[in-house]
Amino acid sequence: MRIGFIGLGRMGANMVRRLIRDGHEIVVYNRTPEKTREIAGEGAIASFSIEEMVGMLEGPRAVWIMVPAGDATEAQIAELMEHLQPGDTIIDGGNTNFHDDQRRHPDLKGKGINYVDAGVSGGIWGLQVGYCLMVGGDKDAVDPLLPIFTTLAPPNGYMHVGGPGAGHYVKMVHNGIEYGLMQAYAEGFEIMHASDYDLDLGSISELWMQGSVVRSWLLELAGRAADGVILGTGFDLLVYDWAKQKIRAGSAQAGRKESDVAVIAAGMLCVRDDGNEARKIVRNRIANRAHHNFRFTYETVPPEELDGVKKFMAGFDVMKPMEDRVDPDLVNDYLVHRFSIAGTPKECIERIEELNAAGVEHLMLTAARKVYHESVEIFATKVIPHIRK
C-alpha cells in the first residue's frame, strides 16, 4: 500500500522503517525536515508540507498520524482536512483520549472522511519484534488498512477491537496495567533489596523469566543493565540526590560503577524575556508529568509542600481532555520549579549552573509547544553561550 505518515519520532520512524521493509510505499512528513530527509535516505518518499504529502497520494487516501496526543494531533487533523477528500481515511496512532475519538468520528464522517483510532504498543523495540495494535473504528474503514496493520504487528498482534474510540480505550486500560506491573515489580525488588540476604536482583529477574507465572517483557527489560537513566522526577536538587542514591544502590547490586550509568534529568523548558510569562505558559503543560510522578508515592515531596501536592492530585481528572484535566491554579510554584526550567534567559542560566554545580551533568529539555520555536531560539542564542563549562 501507499499511505501518508505524519510524525517521525523514535517510534514513528521505526514504524515507517518496518513498513518500507515489507514493500509498502510511505510518503512521510515531519515538522522538522531533517528527520524527513533522514528517513527518505532509507526508502521513504519525502514531502515537506501536508499539502505536498496529500498530493502524492492517490484516492482513496490513508494518512497515519503519529504525534503527541492533544493539541498536536488536533492541529494535524485540522490541516489534513483542508486537503483530504471524501472517502479518505485518517488513522490516529497516538495515545489519544478515547473521548476525543468519539467526538472526532461523527464530525469527520459528516464530511466524508473515515476515522480510525489505533492504540500502538511496542516502543523502540517494535521495529524488530513488531507492534501490538488495538484498532477501533467502522469495519469498512478498518478493513482496507489490513495490509498495513499486518506488517506492523507480529503474528496475532493485531485486532479490530470495536467501534470508534475502542482502540484507544483498550490501549488506555493496557497502559494502566503496564504501570501497575511496573509498580509491583518495583515494590518486589525493593523488598528483596532491603532484606538481610545478599541477593543478585538482576539474576533473579532473569530467573523469573524461565517458566515463572510473573514472567513478562517488562521483567525482561528489568534484567538488563542500563547505560543511562532518564529521570522524569524533576529538577529539584533534593529529588536528584534521592534518585542518585537509588542509582548508586542499583549499580552496586549489579556490580557496576556508579559512573558507568549516565543520569539525565528531564523536564520542560520555557524561556521568555518576561519570566512570569514563561512560568505561566509552562504551568499548564507540566500537569500530566507531575501527576504521573505522584501517582504511587509522595516520598520525594518536602513536608511543607505535601498539602499542595495532594490538592493537585485530588483535583486532577485523567478522563478529561488533556488541557482540562486540572485547574491551573492547583499547579503551584513548587511544581513549576520542580518540573521545569522556566524564566528569563538570566534565570535559566542561573538555574542550569545551580544544577550543574550540584552534579547534574545531563539535561533533557522539552520546549513548551505553545512557544516552541521562540523558546528554542532564545535558549540557543541567549542561554547556551553563557553557561560556564
Which amino acids are annotated catalytic? Answer: 171, 178
CA 202/CA 220 separation, integer angstroms:
10
Residue 3 phi, psi dihedral angles, 5° rounding: -135, 165
Q: Residue 30 in contact with residue 8, Cβ under 8 Å?
A: yes
The string of DSSP codes covering 150-205 is: HHHS-TT-EEEEESTTHHHHHHHHHHHHHHHHHHHHHHHHHHHHTSSS---HHHHH
CA 324/CA 55 separation, integer angstroms:
36
The string of DSSP codes covering 285-318 is: TSHHHHHHHTSS--TTS-GGGHHHHHHHHHT--T
CA 39/CA 43 separation, integer angstroms:
7
Residue carrying the nine cell digits 476525543: 100
Q: What is the DSSP letter of 344?
A: -
Q: What is the DSSP letter of 55?
A: H
